[in-house]
Structure 1
Amino acid sequence: MSTDPVAFARALGLPGLVDVHTHFMPQNVLDKVWAYFDSVGPLTGVAWPIAYREEEDRRVDLLRGFGVRAFTAMLYPHKPGMARWLNEWAAGFAARTPDCLHTATFHPEAGAPAYVREAIDAGARVFKVHLQVGDFDPNDESLREVWGELSDAGLPVVVHCGSGPAPGRYTGPEPMRRLLARHPRLKVIVAHMGMPEYADFLGLAERYDGVHLDTTMAFTDFAERLAPFPAATGLKRLLDLGDRVLLGSDFPNIPYPYGHQLAALARLDLGDDWLRGVCHDNAARLFGLPLPSVSQGIHR
């Protein structure tokens, strides 16, 4: 099951889509990420073919062709000493790609507060951290100043903190509970809806106004086989949190067409108003994007 993204947005009266979870990074790093997914079968028990294994310019064109009017460059270090140069690359990518929300990252290390401030001063609008790949506790003392700086700046941080597709030493809800108790105003976007600990991360969103959830891979046929969403208890909670659920896709690292994520959201049957918020308006408000009149339409 898939759907045409442009037709989907147009039917909702939207000027396009805002996707808060797309990956652009230096090619040598992306090659390693793709190699990981090529061998991910032993971790998940299923094959994970990359649907959009294309050159960078082609991937940008594809997103624009899907009617995506704003997207991110989710990138993250797997060890100390990588984050600053990843941030430098991301700043250059955002400068040459105006529809990309300038993305940055960090890792627990002595220089993190300084290079996070540099990234903020350079115009970063969203940060990304991956607790499983980075193998670190978000409550590491070296990050106390970083989280405080991001909280004060009101900048969202997309955090891969759920235990899917494979658990890490610091994944799951408890490290994030401790972080949010220390920084309750922090704007966190929980990647993948916190898969598979959906209920726990819904609870954090219900408790903290700054906690958002991105839909990345959730509800798709692929994810439902691995980590089914608890629809009986979760759909009403999703509806109630409708202004803090954001479209994410994981493009290009998805094993199905881009439009399948949209079709999976539509089949939840939570209504057009919910879909409009999730697929565009919630992220537009969060990132201060202009909200053009629907008469402007979207273009391939």
Structure 2
Amino acid sequence: MTVSGDNAVPGFWGGLGLPGLADVHVHFLPPRMLRRVWAHFDEAGPLVGVEWPIRYRWSDAERVAHLEKLGVRAFTALAYAHRPGMAADLNDWTLAFARATPGCLPSATFYPEDGVTEYVTAALDAGARVFKVHLQVGGFDPLDDALTPVWGLLAEAGVPVVVHAGHAPMAAEYTGPSPFAALLARHPRLPAIVAHMGAPDYEEFLALAESYERVALDTTMAFTPFFDQFVPFPPSLRPRLRELGLGGKVLLGSDFPNIPYEYADQLTGLIRLDLGDDWLRAVCWGNFARRFGHAV
């Protein structure tokens, strides 16, 4: 079974008896920053490394409308800071975007810098329900002393943070399972969602999700033909993936709009794992609902 193009997406979730899809890994950014991100992909920049044509190079309004057409009822507006002085302004933008956009989960970010605890506290007070950090692009140590109170705040509040912790598509100094495992050892109650299934170190990140109650994984780009040509998911790990998904620890993520293929490809990749309809229902809707509630 495949989802033959974006027009077929509603038939996929309708056939599972779901009210729609919930996607924990969607990007909306201020226009100037988004143009710079897309230019980096166009150039196959050093943190991309391969040809990567942006499939949905549209306006915010067009992309929101497409998510509605697909039936993505709940989604994030993930932004991430790669240098000091960015995060607080990004948070103002993404939180305002969520207030104006039905279905968008209020999203925020942070960076190790002076004042980080204060603006993360302000974001939480303003209703932020998910954060994003990118250890590859940001190039920072998650154990940086400036972040110790921030991780504690998120753990206490039970607000998840989507962490790009894996080496894919290009390794950096603080990517890979070891820095993330060290972070969890210090903050075992941190509600973290590992982006891209932790690729390419799938087994190590699955083990962390199995070991820590509040750690989950998102499916972003994993299992698609584009991603599989570089970092295929080992078939031997599918039984563990099934158990994690049924246990609430795998969530649908797509990386929309910054993908070089149709949104439907992500769903086809999940179907081809052959882990059952109950697993698909959990991953595409139920596990998000358990973490964030049905309404956003």
TM-score strictly above 0.5: yes
RMSD: 1.3
Superimposed CA distance per residue, residues 96-123 of structure 1 (whole angstroms, 9 cap, x where no aligned partner): 0121000000000011000000000000
Aligned partner of 1:63 in structure 2 is 67
Separation in 2 of the partners of 1:59 and 1:44?
23
3-state SS of the aligned residue for 2:229? helix
Aligned partner of 1:250 in structure 2 is 255
Q: 1:14 aligns with which of 11, 18, 21?
A: 18
1:34-73 counterparts in 2 under 5 A?
A: 34-40=38-44, 46-73=50-77
| Structure 2 segments unaligned to the other structure (5+ residues) | none
Calculate the TM-score normalised by the size of structure 2: 0.96
The answer to whether the 8 A contact 2:49-2:170 is kept is no
Q: 2:129 aligns with which of 99, 122, 125?
A: 125
Summarize the Cα distance change of 1:85–1:290 in structure 2 as closer, same or farther, 3 Å threshold. Answer: closer
Separation in 1 of the partners of 2:151 and 2:179?
14
Q: Please say if 1:287 is aligned against 2:296.
A: no
Summarize the Cα distance change of 1:23–1:45 in structure 2 as closer, same or farther, 3 Å threshold. Answer: closer
Q: Please say if 1:237 is aligned against 2:240.
A: yes
Q: 1:218 aligns with which of 222, 226, 229?
A: 222
Q: How many residues align?
A: 290
Q: Please say if 1:135 is aligned against 2:139.
A: yes
Question: Following TM superposition, by how much is the alpha carbon of 1:41 offset from its aligned partner in structure 2, in angstroms?
Answer: 6.9
Q: Please say if 1:277 is aligned against 2:282.
A: yes
Aligned partner of 1:297 in structure 2 is none
Summarize the Cα distance change of 1:45–1:125 in structure 2 as closer, same or farther, 3 Å threshold. Answer: closer
Question: Following TM superposition, by how much is the alpha carbon of 1:220 offset from its aligned partner in structure 2, in angstroms?
Answer: 0.3
Superimposed CA distance per residue, residues 133-160 of structure 1 (whole angstroms, 9 cap, x where no aligned partner): 1100111000000000000000000000
3-state SS of the aligned residue for 2:183? helix
The answer to whether the 8 A contact 1:192-1:213 is kept is yes
Separation in 2 of the partners of 1:66 and 1:274?
20
Superimposed CA distance per residue, residues 147-195 of structure 1 (whole angstroms, 9 cap, x where no aligned partner): 0000000000000000011111100011111111111111000000001
Question: Following TM superposition, by how much is the alpha carbon of 1:46 offset from its aligned partner in structure 2, in angstroms?
Answer: 3.5
3-state SS of the aligned residue for 2:75? strand
Q: 2:265 aligns with which of 260, 264, 270?
A: 260
Separation in 2 of the partners of 1:182 and 1:280?
31
| Structure 1 segments unaligned to the other structure (5+ residues) | 292-300
Separation in 1 of the partners of 2:250 and 2:185?
21
Aligned partner of 2:206 in structure 1 is 202
Q: Please say if 1:181 is aligned against 2:185.
A: yes
Separation in 2 of the partners of 1:78 and 1:2?
35
The answer to whether the 8 A contact 1:188-1:211 is kept is yes
Separation in 1 of the partners of 2:77 and 2:271?
25
Summarize the Cα distance change of 1:107–1:250 in structure 2 as closer, same or farther, 3 Å threshold. Answer: same
Work out the percentage of aligned pairs sharing the same amino acid. 59
3-state SS of the aligned residue for 1:100? coil
Superimposed CA distance per residue, residues 192-242 of structure 1 (whole angstroms, 9 cap, x where no aligned partner): 00011111100100100101000000000000001011112x101101101
Q: Please say if 1:161 is aligned against 2:155.
A: no
Calculate the TM-score normalised by the size of structure 1: 0.94
Question: Following TM superposition, by how much is the alpha carbon of 1:91 offset from its aligned partner in structure 2, in angstroms?
Answer: 1.2
Question: Following TM superposition, by how much is the alpha carbon of 1:289 offset from its aligned partner in structure 2, in angstroms?
Answer: 1.8
Summarize the Cα distance change of 1:112–1:42 in structure 2 as closer, same or farther, 3 Å threshold. Answer: closer
